Amino acid sequence: MSGAPTVAAPASEQHIAQTERYAAHNYHPLPVVIAEGDGAWVTDVEGRRYLDCLAGYSALNFGHRPARLIQRAHQQLDRLTLTSRAFYNDQLGPFAEALANLTGKQMVLPMNSGAEAVETAIKVSRKWGYQVKGVAPGAAKILTMHGNFHGRTTTIVSFSDDGVATADYGPFTPGFRSVPYGDIDAVAQAIDENVVAVLFEPVQGEGGVVLPPDGFLRNLRTLCTQHGVLMVADEIQAGLARTGRTFACDHEDVVPDIYILGKALGGGIYPISAIAADTDILGVVTPGSHGSTFGGNPLAAAIGTEVVATLQTGEFQRRARILGERLAAGLAPLVGSGVIAVRVRGLWAGVDIDPALLTGRQVCERLLARGVLAKDTHGSTIRLAPPLVVTEQDIDHLVAALTHVIGSARATAIVAATR
């Protein structure tokens, strides 16, 4: 062996190398290793702090380690964590009632991940179609939207038009028909006697915070009612205060037949998802026809109940509206100066970067260097979704960092063009 001393790599490099060696490469993370989180800020293993502007894809709406939710989780950890649904537990009933009241629905069906909740909504919609609507066996169709993102299970990617999500995963599940997002005429033309549901996102988050045209949700509600079709809203990212209302559908005063919920429902502590609907829909589910070992477990239910209580104060909905207005005002001057377009709903923004200037990934890497964590999507778009506990100063810090990144890139491009 050489007598030369071994030089240890920085802590971040060690963690990144270990992860890349032993964990499958189904993500392409930014080169930062987070070790601690508090509110809207996180700290890496070297002690550098960053403003978290992804918030776990809206799972961290209430911030990192929210005291109220952490306390409730600790209390339940000391009592009971899992029984499976083979038995009743003392936490599921209160959670189901609280969530039913929040959604205005009569029943809920709890699961774990968002994708599981979407799968549940698909199964319930089909079973309702056969048992209630009277669709011929095996003929049920569900309408979906172009540009959708509902998860990555085999069934869900069957109706995705994202080539990366679908490549080499076929054959795919039949029974879906896709139409352009926000095109009510296309939806109307696609509905026939076999369509049992329309599955949509009231805001397409993964697509880059894509907003539907004004009136689309109201028109979709009318169309579904007229044709006896279930209106199924995937509020996993958009719901639970992110857009400034409890649900994104609330912006048009629309109530879907089925809410699909997840992410923030677990408070950033625990994976919790659910669908909520009335008894005439969820009543088609019978013992043994659907389930999950961890769905509705006592720990999840206790945390979920506290999340609902937190939402009922209205504080986070108000914060999303007020701080979202500040974010929109800060981003607006960038349009035409390196930014092609900005879309904002509540405290959630999609920013389309001029691809001739920078890719979305490059912007996120440069924001990282300035202490801001964000995520790119679809090449030249970045998403901004800080926890709803951010301050006005935090929003200003985000805007200043993005303005600097865009401005520096433009200045470099101008110099290069004059040579």
Angle at 78 between CA 68 and CA 266, to 5 degrees: 45
pLDDT 10s digits, 179-188: 999 999 999 9
3-state helix, strand, coil in the chain (%, to 5): 40, 15, 40
Pairing of strands 176-179, 141-145: parallel
Mean per-residue pLDDT over the chain, rounded: 96
When pLDDT is averaged across residues 166-170 and rounded to a whole number, the result is: 96
For residue 79, how many other CB atoms are within 10 A of its CB? 11
Whether the per-residue pLDDT at 92 is higher than 80: the answer is yes
Q: pLDDT digit string (tens) for 37-85?
A: 999 999 999 999 999 999 999 999 999 999 999 999 999 999 999 999 9
pLDDT at residue 418, as a whole number: 85
> Which of 168, 162, 244, 240 lies closest to 206 in space, CA to CA?
162
Residues marked active site are found at 149, 234, 263
Residue 9: predicted pLDDT: 60
Tokens (6 digits) for 126: 């089909």
C-alpha atoms less than 13 angstroms from C-alpha of 318 in its C-beta half-sphere: 5
Residue 23 burial (C-beta neighbours within 10 Å; 0-12, 13-18, 19+)? exposed
Average pLDDT on 220-231 reads: 98
| pLDDT score at 416 | 87
Q: Which residues contact 54 (CB under 8 A, 6 or more apart)?
A: 373, 374, 375, 383, 385
Question: Which domains, and CATH codes, for the chain?
Answer: 11-65+315-417 (3.90.1150.10), 80-311 (3.40.640.10)
